[in-house]
Structure 1
Amino acid sequence: MSVSIDEIAERAGVSSSTVARVLRGDVKGAHRKSAKRAQEILRISEELGYRPNWRARAFSRGKTHTIGLLYSDPMWIFEDPMNEIAISFTQSLQELNYDLRLIPVTPSSDWKGLVYGNGVDGLAFLQHVPESTEEVIRDGRLPVMLLNDQFEGAPSIGTDDASGGYLATRHLIGLGHKRIVFYIADTIREHVSVTQRRSGYERAMREAGLADQIAFWRSDIDEAIGRLLAPEPPTAIVAYCHVEALLITHAAWSHGLAIPTDLSLVAFNDMAITKYMTPPLTVVGFETAEMGRLGAQQLIARINDPEAPLENLVLRQRLVIRSTTAPPSSKNR
């Protein structure tokens, strides 16, 4: 059973309005007695397991018009293409009269104070949900939105990565390739997209009668290039993302392998850098700006209407054919 402000007030021997003021961080003055009383109220609320009801709070208080983006590693936000999603999300929030606050989830940060102390109206997660914040989602303490990730019970906007893997592989099979590998660097962190992209690749291979050719490489680039230089190497690679494509392209050039003559290459993430690689990279991509825009709109709608139904949106992946894919050369067939 949830704990009420009245119960905390009774235990602390103060009024309910005093408890409410302390819990929302409105502690006036620096009087020692007042500070001690506020600390005791916070201690009691924690001991009783008090959790604010954001649905009721949405109607009973003014909004901060601030969204908190929780993260444990800044690279989850600032690396491509996550930064494109974050930019669109921020711009869309501003159009809706909301600001974005980056909240690091670290042992030394006071992220719980912001979440539980009415510092933000809602929460967003981009690409990754830090383990220590999972309770916030489960308890529904604030409305949340997941961008390019999934978590049970939370609304999300993601991409159809399984169809993306399928599209990439079908493209290579259509060109005549049979020895096709799915490659991911051993430095890539675990994510739902890894499983989905691989499953799309495997489905396409099985449908084409190439189940015996299915190969999944997870290694550093040195091991991967060694396999490419071995007898009867693959003639095509579906790379998990642009990182692997850059590594493979450079390593192939260093060892005298020509792309796409000796090796065709498809990767995920349609970013500016992929257009200007040599040769320009064939990619599977999605509208990053649309993900950010829809995420902002869905989250603010949830804040304005706490009873709005939860939705999980999936964006379509598209294949962009450039110059790194071609039929296998006669010597490699």
Structure 2
Amino acid sequence: MSAGGRQTGRTTLAMIAASAGVSVATVSKVVNGRQDVAPDTRAQVEELLRQHGYVPPSARRSVGTGATVELIVHGSFGAYATQVIEGVVHAGSEMGASIAIGQVDDDDLPAGSPETWARRLATSGRAGVVIVTGALTSAHIDALALTGLPLVVLDPMSLPRVEVTSVGSTNFAGGLAATQHLLALGHRRIGYVGGPPDSGCNQARLHGYRAALESAGIATDPGLVHNEHFHYEVGLRAGARLLDIPHPPTAVVGGSDTIALGIIEAARLRSLRIPQDLSVTGFDDTELARMASPPLTAVRQPLREMGRVAVKTVLQMAAGETLDSHHVELATELVVRGTTAPPAGAPPES
């Protein structure tokens, strides 16, 4: 045993059973997620498995053609998730890997203890796990690490640990570009409606928005900023609030395409024209942006490419390859369409 109590050689079920004072069959039941084990015994065995860093035999294999990657989508399968899934599935096809797709919500994390869930994935033959936007706790991530299963978080809203491998986009640059575009059109009173306040990607977009305003000599007005969730209903509600204040904005930066569409609907309900009376930008550039009327000016995230890179990265990790970087950011791009124009009476800057 090492000084920290961790087995220096490969841990076996027999070692765990001896330490716990139970049979190998009981330990095997815990590893395989069986429920016919007393809660106290299960907790004791799981703690020993964690301490010893037990890796199931099925997780100790070479990775090649036929590997299966677990893709966990946080939230609904909307336009955003669909484009990511397309990239993941196409990448899996190119690399000879299968993709198993699951979905979790904030209130619907994987059933059972994190250790049981992680070992269930490992014993099912998964080569690795890709999580879209992230929904797992630190305990779930620790449990995955103990099984030896590599993890990649795609477009993370937050990372419980900095060493978790992630694939994202240049969110700060995107927020900056959208706001600079509106400033160049002549807007000076610009709002921002984004996602969760503690979300890393939203914070970066908001910082880009603020940086653009400050560079133009404009102080950020807290009354024009709203952060909640990346949902249509948030855009509708926040848009209504912004448009009903005595001195409303002439433009709003949306933290997602769905938020932007909600803001546009709030304007329509007030008989405001887009973009003549209000300019709006989105973020993601999903198919919703192109289908909107008028088509939405949006910051494009390369969602399909992000999915491809995530799959490639997790398979590299599973094969024991060294990564060039544990945090990859792909470039965003502002796509100008029909929802932005100069404010009435204010020509764009030359």
TM-score (norm 1): 0.80
Structure 1 stretches lacking a partner, 5+ long: 28-35
Query: Who is 2:305 aligned against?
Result: 290
Secondary structure, counterpart of 2:310 in structure 1 = helix
How far apart, in 1, do the equivalents of 2:120 and 2:152 lie? 17
Corresponding letter in the other structure for 1:321: V
Whether contact under 8 Å (1:137, 1:154) holds in the other structure is no
Q: CA RMSD in A?
A: 3.9
**CA 1:21–1:91 in 2, change beyond 3 Å: closer, same or farther?**
farther
How far apart, in 2, do the equivalents of 1:80 and 1:171 lie? 25
Once the 2 structures are TM-superposed, how far is the Cα of residue 107 of structure 1 from its aligned partner? 2.9
Residue among 142, 147, 150 paired with 1:143? 150
Once the 2 structures are TM-superposed, how far is the Cα of residue 282 of structure 1 from its aligned partner? 0.6
Task: Tell me the percent identity.
Answer: 25
Residue among 198, 206, 223 paired with 1:198? 206
Residue among 106, 111, 114 paired with 2:110? 106
Of stretches 281-290 and 78-87 in structure 1, the one that deviates more from structure 2 is 78-87
Give 1:141-180 correspondences, 5 Å limit: 141-149=148-156, 150-151=158-159, 152-180=162-190
How far apart, in 1, do the equivalents of 2:179 and 2:63 lie? 53
Secondary structure, counterpart of 2:273 in structure 1 = coil
Whether contact under 8 Å (2:118, 2:144) holds in the other structure is no
Of stretches 143-152 and 215-224 in structure 1, the one that deviates more from structure 2 is 215-224
**CA 1:296–1:62 in 2, change beyond 3 Å: closer, same or farther?**
closer
**CA 1:155–1:79 in 2, change beyond 3 Å: closer, same or farther?**
same
How far apart, in 2, do the equivalents of 1:229 and 1:21 lie? 62
How far apart, in 2, do the equivalents of 1:196 and 1:227 lie? 22
Secondary structure, counterpart of 2:275 in structure 1 = coil
Structure 2 stretches lacking a partner, 5+ long: 229-233
Of stretches 254-263 and 129-138 in structure 1, the one that deviates more from structure 2 is 129-138
Query: Who is 1:69 aligned against?
Result: 71
**CA 1:172–1:140 in 2, change beyond 3 Å: closer, same or farther?**
farther
Whether contact under 8 Å (1:67, 1:100) holds in the other structure is yes
Give 1:26-41 correspondences, 5 Å limit: none
**CA 1:62–1:232 in 2, change beyond 3 Å: closer, same or farther?**
closer
Corresponding letter in the other structure for 1:174: A
Corresponding letter in the other structure for 1:234: P
**CA 1:92–1:313 in 2, change beyond 3 Å: closer, same or farther?**
same
How far apart, in 1, do the equivalents of 2:64 and 2:241 lie? 61
Q: Deviations over 1:1-36 (max 9, x none)?
A: 3242152365589999x99987875x9xxxxxxxx9
Aligned length: 319
Once the 2 structures are TM-superposed, how far is the Cα of residue 299 of structure 1 from its aligned partner? 1.1
**CA 1:234–1:198 in 2, change beyond 3 Å: closer, same or farther?**
same
Which structure has the bigger radius of gyration?
Answer: 1
Of stretches 199-208 and 210-219 in structure 1, the one that deviates more from structure 2 is 210-219
Matched, 1:91 2:90: yes
Of stretches 5-14 and 81-90 in structure 1, the one that deviates more from structure 2 is 5-14
Corresponding letter in the other structure for 1:48: L
Once the 2 structures are TM-superposed, how far is the Cα of residue 74 of structure 1 from its aligned partner? 4.4
Once the 2 structures are TM-superposed, how far is the Cα of residue 234 of structure 1 from its aligned partner? 0.9
**CA 1:233–1:62 in 2, change beyond 3 Å: closer, same or farther?**
closer
Give 1:172-321 correspondences, 5 Å limit: 172-184=182-194, 191-213=199-221, 215-218=224-227, 220=234, 221-222=236-237, 224-305=239-320, 308=323, 310-321=325-336
Matched, 1:119 2:101: no
**CA 1:309–1:247 in 2, change beyond 3 Å: closer, same or farther?**
closer
Once the 2 structures are TM-superposed, how far is the Cα of residue 283 of structure 1 from its aligned partner? 0.5
Whether contact under 8 Å (1:259, 1:324) holds in the other structure is yes
Once the 2 structures are TM-superposed, how far is the Cα of residue 94 of structure 1 from its aligned partner? 2.7
Q: Deviations over 1:151-200 (max 9, x none)?
A: 22111110111110000000011111110111237xx6853221111000
Query: Who is 1:51 aligned against?
Result: 53
